[in-house]
Amino acid sequence: MIIDQQIIDYPQLHSCEICPRNCSVDRYSDTGFCGAGTDLKLNLHTLHHGEEPCLSGTNGSGTIFFSWCNLRCVFCQNYSLSALGWGSEISEAELATLMLNMQKQGAHNINLVTPTHYTLQIRTALSEAREKGLKIPVVWNSSAYEKPEVLRQLAGLVDVYLPDFKYGHGLYATKYSQAKDYPEVALEAINEMYSQVGKLRFDAQGLAVKGLMIRILVLPNGLNSGKKVLSLIADRLGTDVQLSIMGQYYPAGDSELYPELQRGITQSEYDQVVNAALELGFSDIYTQEIRSSKLWTPSFQGSSELDVEGRSQVFNPSSGDNQ
Ligand code: SF4
């Protein structure tokens, strides 16, 4: 399928139930919880060196940050994109070109960040990019607040699923993301991902080629219920799955409204989650040094012309800036 710049009609978006919010709005004339219309909108694309080593490698992960979000956590570190929608519109054909150009630049993979509300449009772009020679793995980097039947439409197009598992209890999912059903929904979504791609596999250089890796961002005061999250995963998927336990929380977004979110995590809080994973029998775990700072978060921009022809904005973590 070769697409041109014409506007594509997606019947499902006339009454959008792409994600568990089930807004039923016509995204051609209105917006629902996520804030997104029908046109793809993205902000930064960059060769990202701050992901797990199997994604960043030596050249970087070809990371594409989409605007808007269907989960919208109050502490989001990409708040300007997820809640404010900073970014520029891009066609499916342009997104396919961008992916191919990132491959030419040496990206080890295409890393689609917060893609859920654009699943149909991204599927169109991915199909075109594959037909035109996209060979590197495609990474679906999502919140896991997704529907299995929608994820099934990505089977064969996505190689690595990289979901966050945000909360183990509906109480906190309600308070910080307005998503009481998050734990059950995320578990079903991740189960579908696992059934599509299986355990994470690596090439000879140690780069991820296919499989599932679940991220757990440790929040202060045990607010993500990390141990409960681990138990849910172990009971449903077993302990053979690759985990990435993240210690990079820092207060961001609207978190100033919540005193309990107003600090980074302690070493003890982080170690408790790692030890719980080990006690349950998980052995494939990426761990991190605690970094309560913005060091690894790229700087985003307001609306501007996107350069899809080649020159990625390269994030250099050593400078703490991506410019
Ligand atoms: S994708 Fe957006 S509009 Fe559609 S159901 Fe989800 S939140 Fe609502």
- Over residues 238-255, the pLDDT tens digits come to 999 999 999 989 888 887
In the reported structure, the alpha carbon of residue 279 is separated from the centroid of ligand 1 by a whole-number distance in angstroms of: 38
Counting from 1 in the atom list of ligand 1, the atom nearest the Cα of 68 is 2
Token pair of 17, please?
A: 């139930």
Question: What are the C-alpha distances in Å from 147 to residues 76, 292, 294, 299?
Answer: 22, 32, 31, 30
Query: CA angle, 241 as apex, 240 and 242 as ends, to 5°?
Result: 125
Position 256 scores a pLDDT of 81
In the reported structure, the alpha carbon of residue 141 is separated from the centroid of ligand 1 by a whole-number distance in angstroms of: 17
Burial 240-279 (b: 16+ CB within 10 A, else e): ebbbbbbbbbbbbbbbeeeeebeebbeeebbebbbebbee
- Structural domains of the chain, with CATH: 43-319 (3.20.20.70)
Sequence length of the chain is 323
Find the mean pLDDT for residues 305-321. Answer: 36
- Over residues 128-163, the pLDDT tens digits come to 999 999 999 999 999 999 999 999 999 999 999 999
Mutation probe of ligand 1 site: the residue of 13, 15, 23 with most atoms within 8 A of C-beta: 23
Counting from 1 in the atom list of ligand 1, the atom nearest the Cα of 24 is 5
Least-confidence region, from 36-40, 54-58, 191-195, 315-319: 315-319
- Over residues 177-194, the pLDDT tens digits come to 999 999 999 999 999 999
Asked whether 21 lines ligand 1 (CB < 6 A), one says yes
- Burial-class residue 310 by CB neighbours within 10 Å (0-12, 13-18, 19+): exposed
Alpha helices in 143-266 (DSSP H): 148-151, 170-177, 182-197, 226-237
Q: What is the percent of the chain where pLDDT is above 70? A: 88
pTM reported for the whole predicted model: 0.90
Spatial contact of 167 and 182, defined as CB atoms under 8 Å apart: yes
In the reported structure, the alpha carbon of residue 17 is separated from the centroid of ligand 1 by a whole-number distance in angstroms of: 6
- Over residues 74-110, the pLDDT tens digits come to 999 888 889 999 999 999 999 999 999 999 999 999 9
CA distance 312 to 105: 8
pLDDT over 50 at 311, yes or no: no
